[in-house]
Amino acid sequence: MAFEPSRTVSESSRTVSGPSRIVSESSRTVSGPSRIVSAWRPAVEGVVEVFHARFTEYAYPMHVHDSWTLLIVDTGAVRYDLDRHEHGTPHDTVTLLPPHVPHNGSPVTAEGFCKRVLYLDGTYLGDEFIGAAVDRPDLRDPLLRRRVGQVHGALGRPGEELEAESRLLFVGERLRGHLRNESAAARPADPVLARRLRELLDERITEGVVLREAAGLLGAHPAHLVRAFSTAYGIAPHQYLTSLRVGRARRLLLEGHAPGEVAAAAGFYDQSHLTRHFRKLVGVPPGRYRSG
């Protein structure tokens, strides 16, 4: 798994009181092969902290967090106690630890483990779900696990906040379904709402829009907004907006503008953000497209 050395911090400061103690993105490094960690706070509502770690020898003592802990393990496994019951986190499981409930954690084998964690506030899960999470912290759900991984991928790429927020909405919805013991049900289509969101995205190609703002403007829940759009057009809102931005970038490049200028004019975070999506949708990087 990938780590970000510029945001690497010491794990020792967070084992007693959780992510609330890390309040800035200032870098603090820890050397040695047994602990490699990376932590940052993204500009996405509901996410208190993103935390990636590889541990081989370290064991967490009993501690609590004041936020929800959403954990996936990429290699190895973690053994932990929650509410005086022993649990484990194999790689195909999503683990959800509720706030204010003591737990610990240690590697199952000498090889240790790699984990990715989202610390979430009450935006997606309220305190009414704490009891159910204590009873069922480990969720075997391949789709949920894949979606959590996609959230991490989006959060690790500057400029992809809309994608991260969209994916996180569905993660929250699926988590609530598990905690309520609900089965997935078909949702009615809403083409009028989908069209209104498309028109809003068409107007905001450069500046963009976050889902919470769009939901307020259109009078709909963010999750319903994304679902209605995806059902109507077969593409998620963030993918649609990216397509519009790449289309604008193509026109500007053909007019002779340099890729660095085009990135900002088309609504991308920076030139590398433009290049990543341009190559994905067009097949070649912007510079080669412009010179070809």
Tens digits of residue pLDDT in 258-275: 999 999 999 999 999 999
**Chain segment 127-165, per-residue pLDDT in tens:** 999 999 999 999 999 999 999 999 999 999 999 999 999
* Mean pLDDT comparison of 84-93, 185-194, 232-241, highest-scoring range: 232-241
Q: What is the pLDDT of residue 235?
A: 86
In which element (H, E) is residue 50 found?
Answer: strand 47-55
Could you tell me which residues come within 8 angstroms of residue 135 by beta carbon, excluding any fewer than 6 positions away? none
- What is the reported pLDDT for 283? 86
What is residue 21's predicted lDDT score, i.e. its pLDDT? 26
**What's the whole-model pTM score?**
0.70
Q: What is the pLDDT of residues 207-231, one digit of tens each?
A: 999 999 999 999 999 989 998 998 8
Q: How far apart are CA 153 and CA 88, in angstroms?
A: 24
What's the half-sphere exposure (Cβ side, CA atoms, 13 Å) at 200? Answer: 21
CA distance 130 to 208: 35
What's the pLDDT tens digit per position in 24-80?
A: 233 333 444 577 889 999 999 999 999 999 988 888 888 889 999 999 999 998 888
The angle at the Cα of 49, spanning 45 to 52, to the nearest 5 degrees, equals 135
Interacting residues of 185 by C-beta distance below 8 A, sequence separation 6+: none
DSSP string, 119-142: EE-TTT--GGGHHHHHH--EE--H
pLDDT band, residue 291 (cuts 50/70/90):
confident
Position 26 scores a pLDDT of 30
HSE on the CB side for 265, CA within 13 Å? Answer: 14
Per-residue pLDDT tens over the stretch 84-124:
677 877 667 999 999 998 888 888 888 889 999 999 999 99
Distance CA 13, CA 2 (A): 22
Q: At what angle do helices 222-233 and 237-254 cross, to 10 degrees?
A: 60
pLDDT of residue 189: 79
Sign of CA dihedral 219, 123, 153, 185: negative
243 CB-contact burial (10 Å; exposed 0-12 / middle 13-18 / buried 19+): middle
